[in-house]
Amino acid sequence: MPDPSSDNLNEQLNTAKQVQPENVGALTRAQLTPEAATAPQGHDVPGHDHQGHDHGDEPEADHAGHSLDSGELDLASEAVADDHDHGPAGANPYLVPALSFALLVAGIALDYYKVGFFTGPVRLAWYGLAFVLVGWKVIKAAVLSIPSGNVFNEFLLMSLATLGAFAIGEYPEGVAVMLFYTVGELFQDAAVNRAKRSIRALLEIQATEVTVLRGGRSLVLDPKVVQVGDVLEIRPGEKVALDGTLNTAPASFNTAALTGESAPQTKQPGEAVLAGMINQESLVQVTVTAAFKDTKLSKILAMVQDAVGRKAKTQQFITHFAKVYTPIVVALAVLLIVVPYFVVDGYVFRDWLYRALVFLVISCPCALVISIPLGYFGGIGAASKAGILFKGSNFLDVLREIDTVVMDKTGTLTQGVFAVQQVQPVAGTEPAQLLRLVGALETKSTHPIAKAVVTHVGTAATGVPVENVEEIAGHGLRGNVAGRDVLAGNTKLLTKFSVAYPPEVDQVADSIVVAAIDGKYAGYLTVADAPKEDAARAIQELKADGITKLVMLSGDKDSITQRVAKELGLEEAHGGLLPEDKARYVQQYLSEGRKLAFVGDGVNDAPVVALADVGIAMGGLGSDATIETADVVIQTDHPSKIATARRIARATHRVVWQNIWLAFGVKAVVLILGAGGLATMWEAVFADVGVALLAILNAVRIQRMKF
């Protein structure tokens, strides 16, 4: 929300921070697909109505004073911990309100006991000090907002009501209104900062240090200070933090996040190694070619900053409602003073002015314009705790409405790494024997498929003697294992050594390791990408959650795709697809009137993510392009988080509407009582600040829910 103490209030009221296009998006639309290059910018696809996808509108300041614009979530700066200036640096923001409260309570006690000195100027000065402590920033904000044309805001309503109360001698009421308003602001700050901290904690799981070689020394540095031309040292299992080129011997990298394919890539010296790849084997060195500001972390930070600018429909409605509602109630307050003069016998100006001031306090829409954005903040914060990043509050609403989920296979529902799926020995050969001999031989290879076999075999191959190993490029291994001549590789290896094998072996869809023992075919192992542990549960939860259509689309072989689909309980799956094929399927589902979410991770998924009502990216190892195109990012790469995100979206929707009905209901009752002279300024304080505090507490409750 705007900071009343800021000297550039008008700029705050009218300008929301925007992420510049040049800072976001690893790929242009033309680089994704030809169709995307000619499609409208953003998510606006012909024939496809995007409720909630409002990426182009600049966030408006909703004033009645509370904007909660994108500046409220400036996580790229250390200043995010406290956007509001509540006093000197390090000062307790509750100190000044506490002092004002003490003066108010003491003044009320002095009034009650009719202490002799507490009259006239002394009484005015006492309450005046209590008022100024908490009210001067609000009055200043009301004055500074006038030149921009933003006259009818919450600051003006509060200023008119409290100064009017002082004008008619109702000092305690005037102080109470401003004091409890300030306390409400502090509650809001605490709630917003809680949401910020949750989101910031999510982002901090990204790499925070890299090993850099400089002057013959190995330095551990923050990636932000690494320069183009520096040399990184990357250990096996570590993620590449910055883009660069490989300096050392050929090395294998897991590139599933960038290519959508489960098979690792072997990079040669001088070839590009991109941020997000994972070093599979030996220690490597990479020369940096891109600064930290161009990496995934910086771009996600920028997207989080931009997130709150994308308002939900409910939030947009309240924004526009407040702008119309506020001047109307000001006009009604004026009429409440003027009209009775002509129609009421014994008209007393002071009485009707007091009623009008009560009316103004009650009419402040702060319970709505604070608690509704805060409700969405709470939802975004709760999601971040669960490892889910919503890029805008509007996507909470849209995700709640979807009825169709379309998912990629590799890296989304599967692990994106090789694992042994099947062991098929020939008759007369025990599976354990085949695994023992092949596993022992494969320990002499650094190939990812060989590592998958060794991992599967485990300790069974430990201590088995292996001699005279020969690695035949593009074929496999030959060696003497426990005194027996063993071949392990692809079918070309068996052909090379004239070993006959059944023709059906050539029809196996998965990657395959065939074996021969002492010159005879001994069987094969299939090596494939295994489903994630929670993939089947994710499908079950989505079905139970009301998703009527679940589809898997994959660029992998159709036979593999169908096998995985059957294993996970999916009724519809399509394999062997190019990115444009996936886009065609999604367009078909959208043309049927479905509300669709697409879940993917590779750069090849980015065009389809852009087409969906809600694009969901796997962010742990997902490609930059897909993460930036997506509306929701699952940082933990668990597909079961999709159902969790839906539960959070529904809870947020419930809380937001609870706040709306609470605010409208209480205000309607007290407004009528105030106009009839049956409600005092104290009831007005409850109707305004009290309801706002209740709504804030209700909104904060989202972050305490278990999902």
Three-state secondary structure string covering 42-100:
CCCCCCCCCCCCCCCCCCCCCCCCCCCCHHHHCCCCHHHHCCCCCCCCCCCCCHHHHHH
List the structure tokens of 495.
Answer: 């052909």
User: Residue 39 — very low, low, confident or very high, per pLDDT cuts 50/70/90?
Assistant: very low
> How far is C-alpha 191 from the geometric centre of its chain's CA atoms?
17
Distance CA(661)–CA(658), nearest Å, equals 5
| Closest residue by Cα to residue 286 from 207, 208, 213, 209 | 213
pLDDT at 621 over 60: no
**26 vs 447, more confident:** 447
Q: What is the DSSP string of 176-234?
A: HHHHHHHHHHHHHHHHHHHHHHHHHHHHTTS---EEEEETTEEEEE-GGG--TT-EEEE
What confidence category does residue 521 fall into, taking pLDDT thresholds of 50, 70 and 90? very high
pLDDT at 204 over 70: no
Mean pLDDT of 220-241: 87
The torsion defined by the Cα of 463, 468, 474 and 475, in degrees rounded to 10, comes to -80
The model's confidence at residue 609, banded by pLDDT at 50, 70 and 90, is confident
Q: Which residue has the tokens 């004073």?
A: 65
| Torsion angle defined by CA atoms of residues 42, 46, 49 and 53, in that order, rounded to the nearest 10 degrees | 0
Q: Where are the domains positioned within the chain? A: 94-203, 229-289, 305-379+651-704, 389-413+532-635, 416-530
Question: Residue 615 has which token pair?
Answer: 């694009």
In this predicted model, which residue has the larger pLDDT, 61 or 553? 553
| CA distances from residue 167 to 162, 181, 353, 505, 613 in whole angstroms, order as listed | 9, 20, 10, 95, 55
Choice among 98-112, 129-143, 162-176, 669-683 with the minimum mean pLDDT: 669-683
DSSP assignment letter at 554:
-
pLDDT digits (tens, 9 = 90+) for 247-305: 988 888 876 544 445 567 788 888 888 776 788 878 999 999 888 777 554 554 454 44
Q: Which residue has the tokens 């003491």?
A: 106
Asked if 104 and 175 count as a contact pair (C-beta separation under 8 A), the reply is yes
pLDDT tens readout for residues 576-603: 887 788 889 999 999 999 999 999 876 6
Q: Which residue has the higher pLDDT, 504 or 473?
A: 504
Mean pLDDT throughout 665-689?
76
Structure tokens at 262: 């489960």
Percentage of the chain lying above the pLDDT 90 cut: 29
Higher pLDDT, 303 or 533: 533
Please state, in angstroms and rounded to a whole number, the distance separating the CA atoms of residues 479 and 444: 10
Residues 597-613 have a mean pLDDT of 81
Task: Give the helix ranges, DSSP H, for 86-168.
Answer: 95-112, 120-144, 154-167
Q: 92-109 pLDDT, tens per residue? A: 788 999 999 999 999 999
- What pLDDT is recorded for position 338? 93
The answer, yes or no, to whether residue 18 has pLDDT greater than 60, is: no
Q: Are 5 and 83 in contact (CB under 8 A)?
A: no
Are 312 and 396 spatial neighbours (Cβ–Cβ below 8 Å)?
yes
Residue corresponding to tokens 């697909």: 33
CA 60 to chain centre: 21
- Give the burial string for 450-472 (b: 16+ CB within 10 Å, else e): bbbbbebbeeebeeeebeeeeee
The token pair that represents 512 in the structure block: 């395959």
pLDDT interval class at 508 (50, 70, 90): confident
CA distance 589 to 595: 9
Average pLDDT for residues 319-324, to the nearest whole number?
A: 66
pLDDT at 542 over 90: yes
Which DSSP string do the residues of 271-327 spell out, in sequence order?
SEE-TT-EE-SS-EEEEE-S-GGGSHHHHHHHHHHHHTTS--HHHHHHHHHHHHHHH
Mean pLDDT of 424-444: 92
- The fold for domain 389-413+532-635 equals Rossmann fold (3.40.50)
385 three-state secondary structure: helix
Distances (CA, A) of 335 to 155, 225, 345, 352, 359: 21, 63, 17, 10, 11
| Contacting residues for 386 by C-beta, under 8 A, at least 6 apart | 641, 644, 645, 648, 707
Give the Cα separation of 137 and 89 in Å (integer).
17
Please tell me the predicted confidence (pLDDT) of residue 213: 92
pLDDT at 297: 44
- Digit-coded pLDDT (tens) for 354-370: 888 877 777 766 666 66
Q: For residue 21, how many other CB atoms are within 10 A of its CB?
A: 9
Least confident of 155-159, 217-221, 229-233: 155-159
First-last CA distance in the chain: 28
Structure tokens at 259: 């290519």
Q: What is the DSSP letter of 239?
A: B
Please tell me which residue, 173 or 51, carries the higher pLDDT value.
173
Q: Which has more pLDDT, 197 or 167?
A: 167
Q: Is the pLDDT of residue 168 over 90?
A: no
Residue type, 403: D
Q: How confident is the model at residue 74 (pLDDT cuts 50, 70, 90)?
A: very low
Across residues 540-546, what is the average pLDDT?
94
What tokens appear for 247 in the block?
């300096």
Q: Which residues are catalytic?
A: 408
Please give the radius of gyration of the chain, using alpha carbons only, rounded to the nearest integer: 33
Compute the average pLDDT of residues 688-699.
76
What's residue 487's pLDDT? 96
Decide: 486 and 520 in contact? Cβ < 8 Å: no
d(CA 605, CA 626): 6
Buried-state track 593-610, b at ≥16 Cβ within 10 A, e below 16:
ebbbbbbbbbbbbbbbbb
Pick 155 or 13 by higher pLDDT.
155
> Taking the complete model, does pTM exceed 0.75, yes or no?
no
Amino acid at site 24: V
pLDDT at res. 668: 82
Identify the CA nearest to 20 among candidates 76, 60, 79, 81: 76
339 falls in which pLDDT band (50, 70, 90)?
very high
* pLDDT confidence of residue 624: 60
Specify the amino acid at residue 507: Q
Indicate if the alpha-carbon torsion angle 106, 112, 118, 119 is positive or negative.
positive
Question: Per-residue confidence at 45, pLDDT binned at 50, 70, 90?
Answer: very low
Q: Do 229-289 and 389-413+532-635 come out as alike in CATH topology?
A: no
Q: Do residues 190 and 698 make contact, with C-beta atoms less than 8 angstroms apart?
A: no
Q: Give which of 204, 230, 205, 206 is closest to 219, Cα–Cα.
A: 230
Q: Which has the minimum average pLDDT: 162-176, 380-394, 674-688?
A: 674-688
pLDDT confidence tier of residue 151, bands split at 50, 70 and 90: confident
Give residue 640's pLDDT band: very low, low, confident or very high (50, 70, 90). Answer: very high
**Do 55 and 42 form a contact (C-beta atoms < 8 A)?**
yes
Tell me the C-alpha distance between 240 and 378, whole Å.
Answer: 33
Q: Is the pLDDT of residue 190 over 50?
A: yes
pLDDT at 72 over 50: no
Range 416-530: architecture per CATH? 3-Layer(aba) Sandwich (3.40)
Higher pLDDT, 121 or 151: 121
Residue 197 has a pLDDT of 58
CA dihedral 264, 602, 525, 521 (to 10 degrees): -70
Mean pLDDT over each residue of the chain, to the nearest integer: 76
DSSP string, 506-530: GG--SEEEEEEETTEEEEEEEEEEE
pLDDT at 212 over 90: yes
Q: What is the CATH number of domain 229-289?
A: 2.70.150.10
Give the pLDDT score at 241.
81
Can you tell me the distance from the alpha carbon of 488 to that of 515, in angstroms, rounded to the nearest whole number?
5
CB of 549 within 8 A of CB of 397?
no
